[in-house]
Amino acid sequence: MIKKQGSLLLIVVICFFVGAALFVPSFFEATFETSDKSSDTIPGIVTDQKTQSILANEVYLLNQESSNRTDSDNNFSEVDPELFAALEDDELLTRAELARLSFEKILLEAQKTLPTRKQMESLSDAELMHDVPATVVEAAALIGQLKATVDRDEALADEAGSFFLECAKSAQVLTSIRALCLTNLLHLAESHIAVDMVGVSEIPNEVIDLSSRLREGESKN
């Protein structure tokens, strides 16, 4: 009887450990999936202090990267120094300031990512024949994020407009992305009077033509 009870107890213990071994990885897997999903979210307006400090750090690093760059073609504006002064003072940022920080961060990324004609020279005909260069998709995604930020805060429209104008004018940038920038500049101009259109005449015909081909028939959007 004791022997029987002992072996039963042994089975129970084994089953317990087997069960535990199966449950624990599932738990970690579930945790991992959750954190992975959260990392996919588009950065927007954040309010908790922890995220603020991470964001501030990212913006600082981006600014450092930007100032270290020697690309003479890049004549875009840098991050507002007042925002960094605020960060150094460890002040709690307002929602609007955080939105602006997010905007500045995306703007810097977009400026860095704009695909150039020179970059295309390093890609083979085979790569360019049917594929779309990664930088084209990346730049488009960042332009989309920029627009989303402007949608939330119209005060940023002017700065976004300047970015689109510089991008559309830049002879180094790939024509398709210049046309995308021009299309967005025109959309902004149609909805925001504050957009500065000085120098728009410098945009060449091929960029205007391409933009018009996109706008043509895009009425549903």
Token pair 């959309």 is found at 187
Residue 8 lies near other proteins (rule: CB under 8 A): yes
* Residue 36 amino acid letter: D
Inter-residue long-range contacts of 42-51, CB under 8 Å, 24+ positions, other chains counted: 42/145, 42/148, 43/102, 43/105, 43/106, 43/145, 44/99, 44/102, 44/148, 44/149, 44/152, 45/95, 45/98, 45/99, 45/102, 45/152, 46/98, 46/102, 47/95, 47/98, 49/92
Q: Is 194 in the site for other proteins (CB under 8 A)?
A: no
DSSP state of 173: B
Q: Is 43 in the site for other proteins (CB under 8 A)?
A: no
Instruction: Give the DSSP letter string of 178-192.
Output: HHHHHHHHHHHHHH-
Q: Residue 73 or 206: which CB sits closer to other proteins?
A: 206
Extract the tokens encoding 171.
């002879």
Q: How far is the CB of 211 from other proteins (least distance, A)?
A: 8
Least Å distance between CB 64 and other proteins? Answer: 19
**One character per residue 68-97, x = contact with other proteins (rule: CB under 8 A):** ------------------------------
Q: Does 186 participate in binding other proteins (rule CB under 8 A)?
A: no
Tokens of 218: 């895009």
SS3 readout for 6-41 = HHHHHHHHHHHHHHHHHHHHHHHHHHHHHHHHHHCC
CB of 75 to other proteins, least distance (A): 21
Confirm or reject binding of residue 147 to other proteins (CB under 8 A).
yes
Q: Does 170 bind other proteins (CB under 8 A)?
A: no
61 binds other proteins (CB under 8 A): no
**Contact residue for other proteins among 11, 30, 193, 198 (CB under 8 A):** 11
Contact 106, 149 (CB under 8 A): yes
The span of 11-19, 54-62, 89-97, 157-165 binding other proteins (CB under 8 A) equals: 11-19
42 binds other proteins (CB under 8 A): yes
Q: Is 24 in the site for other proteins (CB under 8 A)?
A: no
What is the binding site for other proteins (CB under 8 A)? 8, 11-12, 15-16, 18-19, 22-23, 26, 39-40, 42, 117, 120, 124-141, 143-145, 147-148, 151, 174-177, 179-180, 183, 206, 209-210, 213-214, 217-218, 220-221
